[in-house]
Structures are given as structure tokens and as C-alpha cells.
Amino acid sequence: MHTLPAPPSAAKHKIVAGMGAIPFDGGVAFRVWAPHAEAVFVTGSFNEWSPSNNALQSEGKGMWYGEVSEAAPGDDYKFVIRNGEQTLMRIDPYARQVTNSVGSGVIYGDSFDWRDDNFRMPPWNELVIYELHIGTFARRHDGKPGTFDDAIARLPYLNSLGINAVEVMPIAEFAGDLSWGYNPAHIFSVETAYGGPDAFKRFVRSAHEHGIAVILDVVYNHFGPSDLDLWRFDGWSQNDKGGIYFYNDWRSATPWGDTRPDYGRDEVRRFIRDNAMMWLGDFRVDGLRYDMTLYVRSVSGNHDDEIPEGWSLAQWINRQVADQFPGKITIAEDLRGNEFIVKHDHQGGANFGSQWDAEFVHPIRAAIIASNDHDRNMESVRGALLHRYDGNMTNRVIYTESHDEVANGKARVTTEINSEDPHGWHALKRSTLGAGLVLTAPGIPMLFQGQTMLEDGWFQDTDPLDWNKTKRFAGVTRLYRDLIRLRLNLDGVSRGLTGQHITVHHVNNIDKVIAYHRHADGGPNDHTLIVANFSARSWTEYEIGAPAAGKWAARFNSQWEGYRHDLENFEVHDIEAKPVGRDGEPASAIVSVAAYSLNIYTLTEA
């Protein structure tokens, strides 16, 4: 039996704050939550892995604390927890670094040089997001997953496109080296196969140097389910469930196993809150995207099994993010059209900054993937363009491709259009028509990795991007670059695309043509007119309403032959709108628009 030393005198020594392993001038302090432990020790390379040399003292309420003068950053360590006849070796839940998902924690000393990084996130109405997966975004010659450093080498490509935000799929340490990342084993540790914490900081710093914000995908609806030291962490559990970090009743059930965190326990709530704040503070990421919040706020997505404490947890974290990191964004993947996801908590909302919009992606994908023009529903397209949450266009993220939409039984839009020829004319035209809607509709537009180079097939964590396609389809990349340039008003002529307002004034469900007007607050270089043709027929003279009489400059034509050699030259000219009302608008104009094409015009002279 080991006699535990008396705790240090408060008069002579200040207890080090924080959880996990905290380096300080006198060594390293350790704190862990293990309410059912009878004794807790820390072991590691600093004490030759002795299971009993360094005991922690109870601080009450299940907290254990101790200091080890011999320990230092870079040392491996674990906690030894004794509960009755059980002696458990556990990786620190707050470990900032691990050797691997089933190895040991590594004491992390933060000495990273951020240089002069003072990056500020662009206004949300001026964001264009590019979702990427570190392991497949950049190809490695040795066949191993890509790393943060590999991804850094590709940032100039994104910068040249005009991308100003990346959404990085989860990077918390997961089982093995290959994963989408939605199976987090250690949520405070950065995946070792990607390079670990300092490598991720290099990635964030470099992204900021390229003018690119970093939004990180986090998973709080479940943990694991494999390589999970949190499971029965201190030896206690009920009903054959997971112990102190998890619900131990029917609320534990998720689509990924019985590993839903117990959102009602203060210590678990702080654990998740601390994690969110770590990414935003220590790693300087510019936003968080929460994976499938439906399973945070409910057990199975039904109204009769809601989890109120999951909702209040989201409110609490998002409120703290808004208070401590103004301008940074939180995005929910909820996909149930729930407006309260983005409402303020004083209105009963969850206080997210935005959410992925299923009401956009599903009707738009259906319209561009359908084999027959007859099956394209312009009223559904109109509904997708007009949809918003709580009256604010930045409350939704819109896209035609995401990691979910190009896997799990679904493929890239190009492959869905024509699996036998995913790089052919139809796949090119209709996939870029969808992208044109993403980049001209109200919302925060998002592209998925490879979309700008006509990537085909479906997303797999074993299949890296083929960067040779950037040369093969250089014109397609230019098409996306031109769209993004207009979306961000980089030439000062298309401010309307950053604005709140849209009027869908022309909907022709017979000929499959739709036209809409985007604007901010009026004035010069604001009014933007978009015409989209969802049919195989090209029009050289097509009459639509216009929001104002005058000259409208043709800024974009997705049929331009410069975008690819097999696009026939289809001329789209500037137009003169006459003061003759049509489509409920005060003016009208004759336009030409090619098959499966999108044109953009801006008012230059009223």
C-alpha cells in the first residue's frame, strides 16, 4: 500500500490551473477527472514508467492533481487509475499530443512561433469555402496519407482560385492512419499521421499568410467508437455502458455506437467546451463546423427523444465563441431545416452562425443530375434559391458537393450525371451550372476538394486527388476562378452577389430557364442579373424581365470556349434593357444563353 504525500501548502505554492499535463517553471502539473478512483498516479518516461512513484492528490469532486519536477515537454505519460481490484492505464483525455491512438500521451510545450500572424476572418457574406480532407488533399509519393505540410504546398492553388476559407475535415486523433476523421479517439490531440499539433499550426499560419481562413470540423455527437480510452475511464459504468464520459442509459445510442457524451455532466460539458475553445484560441482557427448536431440535440432525430442538455451545451459554447472570438463562425450540420439552429439563444435558438442547407443541395443536385430535361423542376430550383434561415443569407452554407454528398452511396456530380463519361460535355456543363448557382445564390458558398478540376468517382480516404487534372482541365479551373472573382466582387462590379437580396422573377418550367436579380443596398455596381438555362436548347433571343432599364455588361458565360476546347463558341453580348415591364420587373431585355449554361450581367449604366 502506498501512502499519498500531503498536498502542497497553498501558502507556499500556487496550484497550477488547467486540465491534463500543464508545463510550468517547476516541472509539469497533472490534473485528471476520475470520480470513482481510489488512487491516481502519473507514469511516464520521466519516472521509468513507474506505476506508483508519482501519486496525485484528490482535490475533491473527482479531481486529482499533482506535480512532477522531473517531467518535461516531450515526455510520454499516462495515468494509472486504481478502482477496487482494477488498475487501469489511461491516456490523458486532455492530452495535447499522443504517440498514436493506442499509445501514450506526450507532454506538449507550446513554443510555436506564429510570427506576425494577425489574420482576421473576412465578413461572412464574403466567404467562399473549400472543404478538404488532409489525408487525400495532397498526394504523397510513398502512398501514405497526406500531411499538413503536403497541404501547405497546395495552398497557392486555392489562393489563385480566390478561395478565402478552407473547411478541414476532422483532424483529432483517430484509430489508424486512414479515416474521414469522424471517429475521434482523442479530441484534444492532432492526428499523428497528419503531422501532429505543430504541423497543424504551420498549416493555419500558412493559410493565413495566403489570406485563407481555417474552419475546423469537430465531432461532439459521439466519440470513437474504437481506440477509446475514455470508455469506462475510471472503471465505473452502468448498464454495460461507457462510464463517466458517456450516457449510461438509452441516450447513449448513436448511429456510430453507444458513445454519446453525457451532455448533462458538468465535467463533460467543460471537456467539450474546452476543446472548442482550444481550437479557436491555441490553434487560431477561424471557425468550427459541428458534425451532425441532430444527434447532439436528440437521440435519433425524432421530436420525442430530444436531449435538452445537448441543446443548452451548443448554446453555451456558441455564446462563448461569440463573446471571446468575435467574427469567428460556428456552423452546424443539422440538415433538418430547423431555423432555431441559427437563432440567438435569447430567442431559444442554438446560436450557431450558420448551417449547411439541405434545402439547397438536394433540389439543385436533382435538377442538374436528372437525365431528361423534362424532369428538371424550376419551381424547386426557385425554392432553393430563395430559402434562408431567420432572414439572413449568411445563416446557410450552400453547395452541390460535400464529403457526405459524394460518398455513402452517392458520387461526384460529374459521375452522377454520366458515370461512363464523367469528364464529357454533359458532365462539364451541368456540374458547372450547379456551381454557378452555388456561387451566385444567397448563402455562404462551399466547394468540395477536386470540384474545380472535374474530379469524378466518389470520395474515399484511400483515394487522393489527382492533381494532374489541374493541367488537363485548366480551363475548368479558370471557370471557377472567374465565378469566385465575381462572387467576391474583386473587380468592383458585382457587389450584388455579396448582398442579402434576391428576386427570382423569371421561372419558365417548360423551357427550363430561370432568371434572378441579386443586390445589396443599391447604388453603382450593385445590381447583378443571372440567367440559367437548364435545357439542351440554346437560345439566341430570349426575353426576360430586368430590374432596371439601361446597359448591362455580360460578365460571365459558362459556355465560353476558353473554358474548354469542346465548348462551341457561343457569344453572349452586353444587353440593353428597355423600360418595358416584364416578369413583374420594370424593364425587359433580350439575352442569349447556351444549353446548360449560366450567364451573369451587371448594371453599368441606368
In the prediction, which pLDDT does 13 show?
63
Give residue-wise pLDDT tens across range 532-547: 999 999 999 999 999 9
Q: Phi and psi (nearest 5°) for 518?
A: -115, 140
Average pLDDT over residues 332-340: 97
Taking 80 as the threshold, does the pLDDT of residue 1 lie above it? no
Domain with CATH 2.60.40.1180 in the chain: 495-605
C-alpha grid cell, residue 334: 443539422
Q: Can you give the pLDDT at residue 567?
A: 87
Mean pLDDT confidence for 305-309: 97
Per cent of the chain over pLDDT 70 is: 98
List where CATH 2.60.40.10 sits in the chain: 20-106
- Tell me the residue type at 465: L
Beta carbons of 42 and 48 less than 8 angstroms apart: no
11 has a pLDDT exceeding 50: no
Average of per-residue pLDDT across 288-300: 98
- The mean per-residue pLDDT over the stretch 261-283 comes to 98
Tens-digit pLDDT profile for residues 28-44: 999 999 999 999 999 99
Residue pLDDT, tens place only, 496-536: 999 999 999 999 999 999 999 999 998 889 999 999 999 99
Identify the band that residue 568 occupies on the pLDDT scale cut at 50, 70 and 90.
confident
Query: Is 540 buried (19+), middle (13-18) or exposed (0-12) by CB count in 10 A?
Result: exposed
Q: pLDDT at position 139, please?
A: 75
Count each helix (H run) and each strand (E run) in the chain, helices first.
13, 26
Pairing verdict, β 39-44 and 76-83: antiparallel
- Conformational region of residue 68, where left means phi above 0, alpha means psi within -120 to 50, and beta covers everything else: beta
pLDDT for 156 equals 98
Cα 80 from Cα 197, distance rounded (Å) = 25
CATH superfamily placement of domain 20-106:
Immunoglobulins (2.60.40.10)
pLDDT in tens, 59-80: 999 999 999 999 999 999 999 9
- Report the candidate in 153, 105, 283 with the shortest Cα–Cα distance to residue 205: 283
Peptide bond into 23 cis (omega under 30): no
- Mean pLDDT of all residues belonging to the chain: 96
What does the pLDDT read at residue 555? 98
User: In this predicted structure, what is the pLDDT of residue 261?
Assistant: 98
Q: Which of 247, 248, 252, 250 is nearest to 239 (CA)?
A: 248
Q: Is the pLDDT of residue 187 over 50?
A: yes
Angle at 35 between CA 31 and CA 41, to 5 degrees: 45
For residue range 106-150, list pLDDT tens digits in order: 999 999 999 999 999 999 999 999 999 999 999 777 778 999 999
With a pLDDT cut of 90, the percent of the chain lying above it is 94
CATH superfamily of 495-605: Golgi alpha-mannosidase II (2.60.40.1180)
Three-class secondary structure of residue 144 per DSSP: coil
Contact 240, 252 (CB under 8 A): no
